[in-house]
Amino acid sequence: MKKNILKYVIFVIMLSIVVSGCSVKVNESTENKTDQDLKISKNSFSLNTFNTITLYGTDDDSYFESIYGEVTRLENKLSVHISGSEVAMICDNAGLRPVKVSQETFEVIEKSIEYAVLSEGLFDITIEPLVSLWSIGTDNFRLPEQSEINDAMELIDFKKIVLDDENSTVYLTEKNMSIDLGAIAKGYIADKVAKKIIELGLDSAIINFGGNVVLLGEKPDGSAFQVGIQEPDETRGGIVGTVTARNISLVTSGDYERYSVQDNTRYHHILDPFTGYPTDNNIKAVSIIANQSFDADALSTTVLLQGLEKGLAMIESLEGVEAIFITKEHEIYLSEGIKDIFKLTSGEYIIME
Ligand code: ADP
Ligand code: MG
C-alpha cells in the first residue's frame, strides 16, 4: 500500500507538471492575479483510489464540499463494499426478490449490460464472486483452488440480471450471484462530478479518479489541457507521452494498477470470465478517449480484456472513441483519430504504424 501511495504521489506530481506546465503549488497568493491565473486542487481517497480534482478560474476551496459530497453520495449507492448500498441490497437479495433502486444505479447497470453484450461477455459485472475469491490487490489475496474458480465462474452470467424499467428494479436470478461496478462506476461518477462543477458555475477543471480523467472545458486562457500517459512499467513512474485535448475523458486501465504477487507471478485485477484468471494478452495498458467518462471507463476494461487486435477493431468501429495501446514490448498502437493529439515523449517506446 505504501508503495502505491508513493507511486501515486509521483504520478500526481508528474501529472501536475504536465498539466500546469509549471508548479504543483496551485493555491498561491492571489495579489495581482486575474481569475485566469487562479486554480485550486484537492486530493482525497475514495472510490477505493486516490483522487485529485483541480478547479481553474477560482481559488475558493469551499466548492470541494459539494463536489466531494457528490462523490460520496454516488459511492454510497454503487459500491458493493458499502453495506446497505443499493448494489449491496441487490446482491443480498439475489435469488430472492427484485430490489427497487434509484434511476442512477439502474442507469449504470443498464449500461454495464450493453457493454457485456458488445464484448460478448468479456465485460461482465456479475464477475463479483470471482473478484472476491481472488481479492487481488488486497491483504486477503490468495491463489484459489481450481474447484473454487469453477464454482465462482458458474455464477457469472450477465443474462441473469433482470431489469424492470417500469418499476426501476434489479433482480439477480440465482442465489449467491453478485455484481461489482468497479470497472464502470468511476467513469459514471466522474461525469456526474463534471456536471456538478458546471452547476456550481465553473467551466474549467480536471477530475482525476486514479487514472480516470475528465478534462472539463479548456484552460482559462483558451488553450487545451495536456495530460501525461503514465509509463506502465512500475519501476519507472514517468510518462510515455502526452495527449492535448479539451472537453474529453481519458481513462486508463492497466495490468499494473492493482495486483498481487505470489511465487514470482503477478496477478492483476482484470479477470477473464471465461478462464477465471487475470486476463493474459499483449496489452500492458490502454487509454481510451471518449466524450463520456462512463463509456471510456467501461471500454478501457473491455479492450484490455479483448487484446490488441480485437480491441483496436472495436475502437475503430465506435463513433467518437479513440485509444492508445501500450504493449508489453513497449510498442504503442494508436487509433486513427488520436494520432494528431498524442505526442510521444519517451525514447523507450515506439509508435507502430
Ligand atoms: P481500475 O479500477 O483500476 O480503474 P478498471 O476500470 O479496468 O480498472 O476496473 C477493474 C475492476 O473491474 C476490477 O477491480 C474488478 O472490480 C472489476 N472487473 C474485473 N474483471 C472484470 C470483468 N471481466 N468485467 C467487469 N468488471 C471486471
Ligand atoms: Mg474501467
Give the strand pairing for 225-230 and 259-262.
Answer: unpaired
Confidence (pLDDT) at 219: 96
Question: Could you read off the pLDDT tens digit of each residue along the chain, which spans 353 residues?
Answer: 444 544 444 444 444 434 432 222 334 444 556 777 899 999 999 999 999 999 999 999 999 999 999 999 999 999 999 999 999 999 999 999 999 999 999 999 999 999 999 999 999 999 999 999 999 999 999 999 999 999 999 999 999 999 999 999 999 999 999 999 999 999 999 999 999 999 999 999 999 999 999 999 999 999 999 999 999 986 667 999 999 999 999 999 998 888 999 999 999 999 999 999 999 999 999 999 999 999 999 999 999 999 999 999 999 999 999 999 999 999 999 999 999 999 999 999 999 98
Q: How far is the CA of 264 from the centre of ligand 1 (A)?
A: 23
Domain ranges of the chain: 10-62+203-351
- Distance separating alpha carbons of residues 152 and 156, to the nearest angstrom: 7
187 lines ligand 1 (CB under 6 A): no
| CATH architecture group of domain 10-62+203-351 | Roll (3.10)
In percent, how much of the chain has pLDDT > 70?
A: 90
Q: How far is the CA of 284 from the centre of ligand 2 (A)?
A: 14
Confidence (pLDDT) at 31: 52
> pLDDT tens-digit profile of 316-328?
999 999 999 999 9
What is the number of the ligand closest to the CA of 297? 2
- Distance separating alpha carbons of residues 267 and 347, to the nearest angstrom: 28
Cell 472539463 belongs to residue: 216
What is the number of the ligand closest to the CA of 113? 1
177 lines ligand 1 (CB under 6 A): no
Pocket test for ligand 1, best of 275, 301, 302, 306 (most atoms within 8 A of CB): 301
E-strand ranges in the chain read 39-46, 49-56, 99-100, 161-164, 169-172, 205-209, 212-216, 225-230, 239-245, 248-254, 259-262, 265-268, 283-290, 322-327, 331-334, 342-344, 350-351
